[in-house]
Amino acid sequence: MADIAHTSKGDECEVVLHCPPELKKIPLVNHDRSFAWITENVASICEEKTRRYWWIAFLLFTPIALLVPTLLSYQVANGVGVWGENQPFGWAWDITNFVFWIGIGHAGTLISAILFLTRQKWRTSINRAAEAMTLFAVMCAALYPGFHVGRFWKAWYLFPIPNHMALWQNYRSPLLWDVFAVSTYFTVSVLFWYVGLIPDLATLRDRAKSKIKQWGYGLAALGWRGGNRHWQHYEMAYLILAGLSTPLVLSVHSIVSFDFATSVIPGWHTTIFPPYFVAGAIFGGFAMVLTLMLPARLFYPQLDDMITRNHVDKMAKIILLTGSIVGYAYLMELFVALVYAGNFYEYNAFYNRATGWYNWHYITMMTCNVIIPQLFWSKRIRHNYIWVFVICQFVNAGMWFERFVIIGTTLAQDFLPSSWGHYTPSWVEVFTFIGTFGMFISLFLLFMRFLPMITIFEVKAVKPEADPHHEPDHSHGEKAAHPKEAAAH
């Protein structure tokens, strides 16, 4: 930009401003794709003939998913003893996996709600897939407490339903808060996801060639016609849902952390848990979003113009930020326990975490969650998809280890050495956990196949020409006719 010379009244003084060159805005959609191009390239994924590698992936992961119903049936038939939990390990892999999966869901809500409220327009091309991921992760999570109650057919006692036993819930228990938080979270996530889908389902309905698709997508689209009188309420509903989901998502993992924090076990009884759990959940969730989106981009190269390097870069930065918050929390926890608190049991719990029976879990957690994500300081690594993918796998693993460290090491070595105990997961637990990954990925593959993976209408809306006051580079007849009106707005 040229220098700007500013002259004040009477030529008494002259101010010369040296402006730096104007920063170029990084486009959210590369190659300046048209609206029609976006519709065509996202919708065609659901319309084309199923690709071979989709079938390969699906046939690979569904048998793994079938482990879940099989092993849960085995558990119901034989009792909860087929899992490895026993005193003092009342909670082990089951709650670890529950917290792991529910945490993953948080990234989806963060992208759809918090980034919406903060006007981060880059969220538009990843929010649909991330929200779908949230739903599938919460489904995997909900299995664990449901089946850990032992008598699964009595799991409805969790809800406040009057019954012949005159049993009633204890509203002072964080486990009951969990029931309310997780079920509200799932319901609101489904609503949010569905509301976002309505206009895109209408697009698929209008493009559908076969009667069945027209009916299917048509029913789901509710007869959406895209009138501005509808958009007005729609946008308000979307804004409100984003505003509701933000405190909701923060409350869900806070309440999950209360399961531990409100107990009196050393190592659990800390006030740092709620913010630290929430940061950890977003950290792990973003790693899972990238774990799913990077291969999806590989399968469908046309997505490259919508999920750009810029998007991956930003997600890597969020992983770096939240990973550093988590690292800070780990160190602060150690400082409080070892140096500051002066509580012998607290000191012992953390000393045993770092050096005791399960110290390799602790070392793995520190390495995967604190040290390795620091590589994202390098732009070259953030822009290399293979590096990003590999680091995300470390984060996924690290977050699982974090939950086990919190739950496992604490229960293994608490107050009295006479009541200490080891824990080994049973084969049923191990394969159920593997099965949940199969279930998660199979559901995601089905979602990719039948629903638009990218929010078509929102990606269109963030293109520069979606703004009615946008001046196209090439002169436009329509625009030139109303120069005054354009200036007035």
**Tokens standing for residue 361:** 């879990």
Alpha carbon distances (Å) from 18 to 7, 22, 173: 14, 12, 63
| Radius of gyration (C-alpha) of the chain in whole angstroms | 26
**Cβ of residue 472: shortest distance to other proteins, in angstroms?**
8
Site residues (CB under 8 A) for other proteins, limited to 247-276: 247-248, 251, 255, 258
**What minimum distance in Å lies between the beta carbon of 145 and other proteins?**
16
* CA–CA dist 169, 187 (Å, integer): 21
What angle is formed at CA 146 by the lines to CA 94 and CA 421, rounded to 5 degrees? 30
Enumerate residues 70-109 that contact other proteins by CB under 8 A: none
List 31, 154, 230, 379, residue binding other proteins (CB under 8 A): 230
Site for other proteins in 9-48 (CB under 8 A): 34-36, 39
Give the residue, chosen from 10, 20, 21, 223, that forms a contact with other proteins under the rule CB under 8 A.
223
Pick from 84, 218, 327, 438 the residue near other proteins by CB under 8 A: 218
Give the alpha-carbon dihedral of 423, 424, 428, 433, to 10 degrees: 90
Say if residues 282 and 318 touch (Cβ distance below 8 Å): yes
- Cis bond leading into 247, ω under 30°? no
Contact, 434 vs 67, CB < 8 A? Answer: yes
- Out of 224, 260, 276, 400, the residue judged to bind other proteins by CB under 8 A: 224
Per CB under 8 A, 142 contacts other proteins: no
- Nearest distance from C-beta of residue 222 to other proteins, angstroms: 4
Q: Do residues 83 and 93 lie in contact, with contact meaning Cβ atoms separated by under 8 Å?
A: yes
184: contact with other proteins by CB under 8 A: yes
Kindly state the helix (H) or strand (E) to which residue 236 belongs, with its residue range: helix 228-261
Which of these segments, 223-231, 302-310, 329-337, 434-442, binds other proteins (CB under 8 A)? 223-231
For 17, the enclosing helix (H) or strand (E) is: strand 14-17
489 binds other proteins (CB under 8 A): yes
Q: Which of 24, 49, 172, 211 binds other proteins (CB under 8 A)?
A: 172
Minimum CB distance to other proteins smaller for 291 or for 455? 455
Choose, by CB under 8 A, the member of 26, 56, 149, 195 that binds other proteins: 195
- Is 159 a binding residue for other proteins by CB under 8 A? The answer is no
Distance, CA of 323 to CA of 374 (rounded, Å): 8
Selected binder of other proteins within 53, 159, 168, 427 (CB under 8 A) = 168
